[in-house]
Amino acid sequence: MKQVILVTGSSRGIGAATALMASRRGYAVCINYHRDAASAEKLRAQIAAEGGQAIAVQADVSVEADVLRLFAAVDAQLGPLTALVNNVGVLEKQGRLVDMSLERLQRVFNTNILSYFLCSREAVKRMSTAMGGQGGGIVNLSSGAVKHGAGNVYLDYAASKGAIDVMTLGLSKEVGAEGIRVNCVRPGIIHTDIHASGGDPDRVNKLASTVPMQRGGQPEEIAETILWLLGPQSSYVSGAIIDAGGAR
């Protein structure tokens, strides 16, 4: 069976590492991006140069119309979806709840929660054996921040990721008998540029000493975990939340 994967927010960081690794393991890949068309096209070209199949599709996955267009593009250009990685995520400038505007909260919750629900809904429609699909897997990206709440820094981000933990548990029970496994990865502090958008580009290096392994993680290490959860080696794993944070 042809393996087709959609990775949301995959023009950079963990998403890009996952898309590239998936291609190298035989998946046809949909690279989703919101604004950074140049990075998405560069990744698509790299996959093509390596002999893989990939498309790059612009979509704001917190907007239903964009999600429907994104999944239609996968259907038409790659074929039946077998794997979804809900990776997209945003955080805002570090701060306290008392200083957070409604607009900020809506941006974070729409991107980090609503998009996961919308994309998972469309994936289930395509993969569920009860709806004519061939089964498949969904992996959600949470965060180690849910374990400490990120107070005074990213409380809204941590709360949004807590919602994803719960969604993973519930959805895995809903679709477990329909050939779909749903799991979650909680990355720790990882070397990606998301920290710059929070105003602290050197955050990983600053916190490395708080990690028992004494270092930040690499995007490829998280990609390995994601692809294990999608592969046959984890065929009896569903509803799992895996911490990938160096024991922090």
Q: Given the residues 27, 33, 116, 157, select the one marked as catalytic.
A: 157
* Ordered strands of the 83-86 beta sheet: 54-58, 28-33, 4-7, 83-86, 136-141, 180-187, 241-244
Is 14:190 a contact under the CB 8 Å cutoff?
A: yes
Q: Which of 64, 65, 4 shows the shortest CA–CA distance to 31?
A: 4
Q: What angle do CA 59, 104, 182 make, to 5 degrees?
A: 50
Structure tokens at 68: 């429907």
Q: Which of 181, 192, 188, 197 shows the shortest CA–CA distance to 140?
A: 181
Pairing state between β 241-244 and 180-187: parallel
Q: Is 157 an active-site residue?
A: yes
Question: CA-CA distance, 66 to 82, in Å (whole number)?
Answer: 20
Burial class (CB in 10 A: 0-12, 13-18, 19+), 63: middle
Is 225:186 a contact under the CB 8 Å cutoff?
A: no
Active site positions, annotated: 157
